[in-house]
Structure 1
Amino acid sequence: MKDLYGKLKKKRGKAKIKASVLVILPDGKKARIIFVPCDKKRGWLALLSTDISIADEEIIRLYGKRWDIKVFFKMCKQHLKLVKEIQIRNYDGLIGHTSLVMARYNILSLFQRESVDQRSFGDLFRACNEELSSITFIDTLKRIMQLAMAALRNAHNLSERIINSILDLIMGEAIAYFGLNNSPMPQLEGGQRLICSSES
């Protein structure tokens, strides 16, 4: 593996993948070997996948999930005494003991996450951030108004004129409060434009 790594052209800098190569195993099957950065002395870790249709990034992601599972069982066995804490042969007792060990692990993981670990929610955080940056205030207000109109129609037997009057009043106050008097008014479903009482 070391000789193979030495022959490959490596990506520079802080690349997630240092190198990737397609190889033929002794049994004739094809496999993909991916070299990723590692904290160990040699500086790299080799991941092998016999499914060559999977992208390199997906192989790394799946390996990461598998590694988390291995760490979980190692912690439960070595530090939370999953195997050695009690001597029992009763099936219900074994299930109860295993459940308690896993509950301990979850509590300790939560404590570490809240006290020590500085990671965010990652993809979820980024997705929310991207959505917020791609929507303007006036578009957000439009969505709120559409939901409000639907709720008024469903909850009460009000005429469209009364509903529009309520919404015009709300929009007028909101636009005046946020100083958006010169902003273009949002179009609701069906091309309807809100006429705010603060402009009239």
Structure 2
Amino acid sequence: WHISVQLWNRIHVRSDHKEQDVCLILDDTDHEKTGRTIEKIGRVHSHLAHKAVLGFKCLCMAVTDGVSQILLDFDIIGEKGKKGNYGMSARELERRHKTEHDSEVLRSREKAYDMSKLELAKEMIKRAIRKGVKFSYVLADSWFTNKDIVRFIHSRHIKCHWLGMIKVGENGKTKYHTEHGDLTAPALVKLGKKLKLQKYSRKLKCNYIVYDAVFGGMPVRIFLVRRTQHGKWNGLLSTDTGLDFIKAWQIYSRRWALEVVFKDCKTNLGFGKCQSTSFASQIAAATLCCLQYNILSVARRFSDYETIGGLFREITRETVQLSAAQQIWGILQELVTAIARVFGLLDEEIYDAVINQSEEMAHIAQFYNLKSVS
């Protein structure tokens, strides 16, 4: 935290840093392992492989200003499962390496291993506030969006908002209190069509519906969106009731910057590749990887994204290398829009396939490094 905050402050004082656009991003990633004797090893459900894999989950929190990302916090966690055996047999549990840790820090890490991701996310946000990290929005996927987190964000003493996905399909059973009654997201879609509340965004080339509602006792704004007339609906929920649809969608697109961070760290820095049987070593390896990424991120900010400022800022704009977030929004959006319209898919599904599930598709952005983004 001490080093990461210092690195973030280096970015914070730059003239091209916009404080109102700073966001925290929450997401988890798989740390797949091969050794069955690793301390606290278990099986976790992988959303990429769509099956249980041997390893850990790593919940991370990053901060971004739309140009650079800094990893602020992480916790290595396991999944007990319904049987409470972490997906392991009795013999496998017996063979796991065991160590008595005297360090208070390691004991707190062990405690975090069995905590829920939601509770850990709240603790991470609290630590960021205590360390003086100022931010406007917290971005996360639909797994984190619930009444508890909305109330938690609303109760913070700093002015910040939640902006997260919500489930709209068959799994969208959560009810939101509106002027039309307590309705689920699918019911809000049907009501929007009936009342002709659906609008079309020429900029994003999609249809959307906006509702003001109450969720967890707090006022929220809900955005329902789909690409085609017969495509799947997607949803966003924000505690910022003054946010318009285009701004909300652009801000939320930054969440995928953390997926790019995971990709870079795993490919180039060995993130999650440690095979030591010691849980302390797993923590240390992940910590060193995060610090390496943060240093490289700051170095890149001062080299690739540097402008000479002032009088020549506008002239040199097109010569500055595009940031990861701009690449995602400006470069891949055209491709994502086309695929979504043709196949009736969700943006989330396409971004996941481009960044995480295809080595060939992941290189598409490299072809457009020098292309200007509108």
**TM-score range with shorter-chain normalisation?**
0.3 to 0.5
- With the length of structure 2 as denominator, give the TM-score of the two structures: 0.25
Identify, as 1 or 2, the structure richer in helix.
Answer: 1
The structure with the greater share of residues assigned to strand is 2
